[in-house]
Amino acid sequence: MASPPDHFLLVGHAQDAVCQMVGAALEECGYLVTVTSAPLAAPFSLRWRITNERMKDTKGWSGVDFDFEDIAGVLLRPSAGVGTPDGWNAKDLAYMQIETQAALLAWVCDLRCPVINQPSADVWFRPQRTYFEWHSHFVRCDLPALEHLCVTNDIGEARAYAQYFDGRATYAPLTSLSRYAVTEPHHWEELAKVMVHVPVCLLPPANGRSTYATVIGEDVVWNQNITFDASPMEPGLVMLAKTLRLDFIQIEVSTGLGGVYCVTADPNPLLERHDAGAQSAIIAKLVERLQSDHPASQKLPREVIALINRREFAA
């Protein structure tokens, strides 16, 4: 009797474009696919025992018609978490979401099948970083980075900063992807009001539209209409993904007076930032990686790696 086809678990919202397209591609290959944003709640069932020895753990987990042993690969998207049970109040639901997120992180970090992405706690709970943090990562990976950043709550300092750019700047809140041009007098008045409450992060004025590079393992996918030679950046982009221990990451790239530079990165890439050709290429690479037994997909938490490194260093 033929064994049943491999089963892939896509953890994310059913409307997520990555889940939809990866799911369709896997099904086209003859695999079974389950898409859910809440794999640790009914109708799924988790029975995970953690013991002193990993080999003695039992990883009980079952879906509607399949078990843990059937999972061939997992795709983890940012909308993963808990469902929206009827009748719950907002406080209880928020608590349950936090609890489930915590459980899901540990669960995926202990999976041995390919997982995209298998994040560290730092990336899982803090996927968005400030421009300063991304800047450090880019520099360390020999990537061109945004050159002039400023955080201040002093309007005089902010105006002095803008003098480098003919009195213009971009206000970029640290906790959102929004950016606001600061060019007109009334923009400065508004910025001053914000600065009463929080220091603001200023970037140089935008010179052109951003484009995106998406790294999938060792591969980098760009939009077809990019106007610069992207190949010199690709080793650095792959190194960035490795440094963050991610298989799938998207980097915002822009052009300015000094040339091409990286602005931010997103550990939860969006297909919508790419043209159709690039989207197809990304999906093909993701499917290929999910099917592989690539060692990078069986990673230990970074803290465990640090423990091992410490012992090797001591020895």
Partner 1 sequence: MILVCGSLTDIVTELFCARLEKLKYDYRLIDLGVYPDRYQVKWTCEQEIRTGSIAAQGWHVELRDVTGVFARYVGERTRKCTTLSGDLSDAAAFELQAGLMSLWEHLPCPVANRIGGALSNHSKPYQLLIIRQTALRIPETLLTSDPDAARAFYEEHAGRVIFKSVSGIRSVVRCMERSDIDRLSHLRNGPAQFQAFVPGDNVRVHTVGEEVFATRVHSDAVDYRYAHQQGASVEMEPIELPPFVGNACLELADAMDLTVAGIDLKVTPEGEWYCFEVNPSPGFAYYEQHTGQPISAALAETLRRGPVHAQTWERSLPMT
The residues in 104-123 that bind partner 1, with binding defined as CB under 8 A, are 105-107, 109-110, 120-123
Q: CB within 8 A of 46, min separation 6: which ones?
A: 40, 60, 61, 103, 107
CA–CA–CA angle 38, 266, 229 (5° rounding): 140
Of the ranges 26-34, 149-157, 178-186, 213-221, which one interacts with partner 1 (CB under 8 A)?
Answer: 149-157
Element of type H or E holding 36? strand 32-36
For the segment 254-313, give every residue that binds partner 1 (CB under 8 A): 301-304, 306-308, 310-311
User: Considering CB under 8 A, how many residues would be counted as binding partner 1?
Assistant: 79
> Nearer Cβ to partner 1, position 136 or 207?
136
Of the ranges 22-30, 90-98, 180-188, 225-233, which one interacts with partner 1 (CB under 8 A)?
Answer: 90-98
Q: How far is the CB of 141 from partner 1 (least distance, A)?
A: 11
Q: CB within 8 A of 303, min separation 6: which ones?
A: 120
For the segment 67-86, give every residue that binds partner 1 (CB under 8 A): 82-83, 85
Q: How far is the CB of 258 from partner 1 (least distance, A)?
A: 9
Of the ranges 20-28, 51-59, 206-214, 282-290, which one interacts with partner 1 (CB under 8 A)?
Answer: 51-59
For the segment 194-223, give every residue that binds partner 1 (CB under 8 A): 196-199, 201
> Nearer Cβ to partner 1, position 132 or 277?
132
Residues 258, 73: Cα–Cα separation, whole Å: 42
Q: Pick one of 17, 32, 46, 284: the residue that binds partner 1 (CB under 8 A).
A: 46
CB 236 within 8 A of CB 143: yes
For the segment 121-140, give every residue that binds partner 1 (CB under 8 A): 121-126, 129-130, 132-133, 135-137, 139-140
CB 75 within 8 A of CB 22: yes
What's the token pair of residue 112? 């041995």
CB 173 within 8 A of CB 201: yes
Laid out side by side, the sheet with 259-266 consists of: 219-222, 211-216, 248-256, 259-266
